[in-house]
């Protein structure tokens, strides 16, 4: 790794680190978009239940700064094998609009059980 690349990895956002790691995994890569809350327990539960076979790119970051991180988040959507949204808000609407324009497919869920069933169906998939 070059000195410049090392510096970029050190200052990279958490999501960019996930994007870079996702390129090295044999697991299916899922971008986990949607509802953001103070504890984000649903994200923790989903990742705990399925991380043995799915690599998650989770864009949630309490210190998220649009100017610094928007392109990292878009990169996460572009490298993901699947993109899911659970109860998205204003930000998710913009992400879905971007994906529609780019021609990328995504799946939306209002039920955590249905999201879990969808991910369960992906468990056997790999890259």
Task: Report how far residue 99's alpha carbon sits from residue 121's, in angstroms, rounded to the nearest whole number.
Answer: 23
Residue 71 sits in a domain whose CATH number is 3.40.50.450
Q: For the chain, how many structural domains are there in total?
A: 1
Host domain of residue 42: 13-122
Cut 0.95: pTM above it: no
In this structure, is residue 34 part of a structural domain? yes
Task: Report how far residue 37's alpha carbon sits from residue 100's, in angstroms, rounded to the nearest whole number.
Answer: 25
Cα angle for residues 57, 116, 40 (degrees, 5° grid): 55
pLDDT in tens, 11-51: 457 888 999 999 999 999 999 998 877 778 899 999 999 99
pLDDT in tens, 63-102: 767 677 888 889 999 999 999 999 887 788 889 999 999 9
């Amino acid at each position: 790794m070059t000195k410049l690349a090392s510096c970029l990895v050190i200052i990279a956002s958490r999501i960019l680190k996930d994007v870079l790691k996702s390129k090295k995994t044999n697991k299916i890569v899922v971008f986990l978009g949607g509802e953001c809350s103070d504890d984000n327990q649903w994200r923790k539960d989903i990742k705990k239940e399925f991380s043995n076979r799915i690599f998650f790119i989770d864009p949630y970051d309490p210190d998220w700064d649009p100017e610094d991180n928007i392109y990292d988040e878009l990169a996460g959507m572009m490298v993901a094998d699947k993109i899911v949204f659970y109860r998205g808000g204003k930000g998710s609407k913009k992400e879905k609009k971007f994906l529609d324009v780019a021609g990328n497919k995504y799946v939306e869920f209002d039920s955590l059980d249905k999201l879990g069933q969808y991910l369960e169906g992906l468990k056997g998939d790999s890259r």
